[in-house]
Amino acid sequence: MAIQLQWSLDKTIGSTLSIARGIFLAANNDNVQPLAIVSCEKFGNTIAMCQDICRKIENLTAKTPEPVAIKFLRVYAGFDAADSASQLSKSQAGVQFLGLAAALVTSMEGYRAGASLHKMLESSASDKTLLPTTRQLKDLLLSLEPRLVRSGFLNTVIDTKTDTGLHVFIHRDVGPPFDLVDTPLDDVSSKYFTGMANVEDYGRWSLSGLGLDAGSAKEALLQALPLAIKQILQILRFGDEHDPRTTDSSARFRPDFKVLLLSPFPEEHVIAQAASRYLSSSDAITLSSSMPVFLPVGCLPAVILHLDVLRGECSCANCNAASFQRFRKCTVEKFYIGLTFVCADILALSLFGAEIPLLHVKWRWNGNTEFITAINSIISTRESDPYDSCIKPFDLLNYALALTGSGIDERNQRKHGWIMSSFKGQVMYPVLYETLCYEKRGYLTLNCLPGRIRYNGEVYTQVYGRPYRFDLNDLKDLSGPAVKGPRNLIPDMRIVWLLQQADDVLEASLSLKSLDDEYSRFIREPTGILLNIGSSFLLEACAHDPDAMLEAPDKFCVFTSPLFPVPDETERDGIPVIGVVAINGSDDMRSLSLASFDGPVVLRKKACLSCCLDVCRRAGCSVVVL
């Protein structure tokens, strides 16, 4: 195909009837202007692009995978088969433009990309009266971005940024390399860029930016990392949104209760796999159980050698008493900060399991999060106050989502918690919401699917919890027998998810319905599950029969419902009364109980009721969930 010097809409207008349906359908699905699609396709005739890139782009856009149903919300994750990318992929000129668009959307922000494209169109248009605006081009590029982020263009940018030398290979279809180099490498490497990269390239970019990618710094990092992660896993605690110094919450810091706490992180071999990919290491990272957990990181041989080098070069007041640069940042402290970020990244990425999504590359670091502060305190002091090492599950969740670019909106987090989001062609949500089942480890495991959130023909970027309402007469009083053993007093009730469309988000909530499809009059916000599970205690088993009955009815216990786990009568004769949620054997009802109560509870799997009540009283809790 011959490359044109200029493009024009004349021929396109003459054949409008034959192409109008596809263009207008694509424009309607992506909410973009048809003029932008047509102009960019014609502009593609002026772009020189090798056939290998064209085939790669065509494979990304021409075939649309079937959307994946996310059944618990009745939404889909996927792409529309008649979107702008699919329409442009039908012609060679369109494919060539998509190749250019891939470079733009994976390396710069939306408006800058639209402005750059507008200049290109303006400089090569034969008729400048029929040009789409910069905003229209930006909207088109943003609609193409979810499909094109997997093109891998940003990986080449990261290679150029992190490699010590420049190695150029120019495809024979493009032309002589000296005719193509317009800007010196030093100038290019100083430019701001942003985009999506796989975990291996993201890790190389991150380590390079932190100064931990070579020499003694890398050796110190590799030796310190297993010990640092092990310390974090043992010390870091997760609690509810209330002050952890309250009586009801302080029990989770006692050694005999730590073994009963649930962990948001997966098994250690999953964390080790995430570390190996992040470090692009062929050698497996081992988190050995025999590792001296309470050995300070700074006492490791490679770390000692590297810190000695840093202290010899550092001009801060702590490392050099004769220095006049008292406000200069300490290089030793920088090493610990870098180690903190690497540990935080690896632990956050382990939440995705084996399917780590594309990560958002940007030239800025955010060290003001509770997650980063807690990790830095653990690594640098080893003797931090356990209360200072307690964070909310959403602090970890928000950090993990921020790595993918899909951070939680803080304004919405406080009111209607995050449930699901879509950013740059990736849909993410906690697996716990889908299964409503939890185990000892991994309650914050995240699922990632390609595409965008689609519901009733519309595209959404966020799903938030809907504020709950309730009827005080709705299942509040379970007039059952005295508490003597495990019971399920509402076996005919099932949990359902309710979804409501808003302006640009979906609002979700939990409710109940009977076998006769009669709905409860209450709704609950699902976010309470994640807020409360971190501070709760899980009894997986005990030495007794899980169905064993108490020797006599417990006069200081009453059966309650998952909607109102706390009993009306909180004390009898000055002794606290415990609410026993009567939903024996129902995993989803257990999750509903967590969503209905603010505070720690005792969760039962296959332990007997007597042991559960014992832990509940010793821990200062007021609810046992059967």
Q: Would you place residue 15 in the very low, low, confident or very high pLDDT band (cuts 50, 70, 90)?
A: low
What pLDDT shows up at residue 6? 59
Q: Residue 74: pLDDT above 90?
A: yes
Of 68-72, 79-83, 327-331, 580-584, the least confident: 327-331
Q: Residue 165: pLDDT above 50?
A: no
What pLDDT shows up at residue 433? 92
- Confirm if 513 and 494 have CB atoms less than 8 A apart: yes
What pLDDT shows up at residue 446? 95
Q: Please tell me the distance from the alpha carbon of residue 375 to that of residue 185, in angstroms, as a whole number.
A: 37
How many alpha carbons lie under 13 Å from residue 169 in its C-beta half-sphere?
Answer: 4
**pLDDT mean over 602-615:** 92
**pLDDT mean over 332-340:** 89
Which residue type sits at 316?
C
Q: Residue 387: pLDDT above 70?
A: no
Mean pLDDT value across the chain: 80
- Who wins on pLDDT, 127 or 228? 228
Contacts (Cβ under 8 Å, ≥6 apart) of 482: 553, 554, 555
Which candidate, 113, 110, 79, 106, places its Cα nearest to that of 197? 106
- Confirm if 593 and 623 have CB atoms less than 8 A apart: yes
| pLDDT tens digits along 205-219 | 889 888 898 899 999
Of 22-31, 195-204, 572-581, the least confident: 22-31
Of 109-113, 144-148, 473-477, the least confident: 473-477
Q: Would you place residue 193 in the very low, low, confident or very high pLDDT band (cuts 50, 70, 90)?
A: low
Q: Would you place residue 453 in the very low, low, confident or very high pLDDT band (cuts 50, 70, 90)?
A: very high
- Who wins on pLDDT, 500 or 478? 500
3-state secondary structure of 126: coil
Of 135-149, 371-385, 420-434, 553-567, the least confident: 371-385
Q: Residue 386: pLDDT above 70?
A: no
Length of the chain: 626
Q: Residue 445: pLDDT above 90?
A: yes
In the chain, what percentage of residues exceed pLDDT 90?
21
211 Rama class: left (phi>0) / alpha (psi -120 to 50) / beta? left
Of 149-163, 210-224, 412-426, 581-595, the least confident: 149-163
568 Rama class: left (phi>0) / alpha (psi -120 to 50) / beta? alpha
Q: Would you list the domain boundaries of the chain?
A: 10-195, 206-405, 458-625
**pLDDT mean over 507-522:** 78
Q: Residue 267: pLDDT above 80?
A: yes
How far from each other are the two terminal CA atoms of the chain, in whole angstroms? 70
Q: Would you place residue 318 in the very low, low, confident or very high pLDDT band (cuts 50, 70, 90)?
A: confident
In the chain, what percentage of residues exceed pLDDT 70?
78
Of 299-303, 379-383, 592-596, 597-601, the least confident: 379-383
Q: Please tell me the distance from the alpha carbon of residue 570 to that of residue 605, in angstroms, as a whole number.
A: 25
Of 312-316, 366-370, 580-584, the least confident: 366-370
| pLDDT tens digits along 42-57 | 888 888 888 888 888 8
Which candidate, 197, 133, 137, 126, places its Cα nearest to that of 162? 197
Joined together, the tokens standing for residue 281 give 């290491």
Q: Residue 197: pLDDT above 60?
A: yes
What pLDDT shows up at residue 2? 57
Q: Residue 250: pLDDT above 70?
A: no
Q: Would you place residue 567 in the very low, low, confident or very high pLDDT band (cuts 50, 70, 90)?
A: confident
pTM (whole model) above 0.75: yes
**pLDDT mean over 417-432:** 91
**pLDDT mean over 411-415:** 48
| pLDDT tens digits along 324-333 | 555 667 888 8
| pLDDT tens digits along 129-143 | 788 899 999 999 998
What pLDDT shows up at residue 178? 47
170-174, 279-283, 346-350, 520-524 — most confident range: 346-350
Q: Using only C-alpha atoms, what is the Rg of the chain? A: 29
Query: CB atoms < 10 A from the CB of 74, how many?
Result: 11
* DSSP-derived secondary structure for 218-280: HHHHHHHHHHHHHHHHHH-EE--SS-TTSHHHHGGGSHHHHTTB-BSS--HHHHHHHHHHHTT
Q: Would you place residue 624 in the very low, low, confident or very high pLDDT band (cuts 50, 70, 90)?
A: very high
What pLDDT shows up at residue 585? 82
47-56, 134-143, 177-186, 479-488 — most confident range: 134-143
Burial of 466 (0-12, 13-18, 19+ CB in 10 A): buried
What pLDDT shows up at residue 168? 44
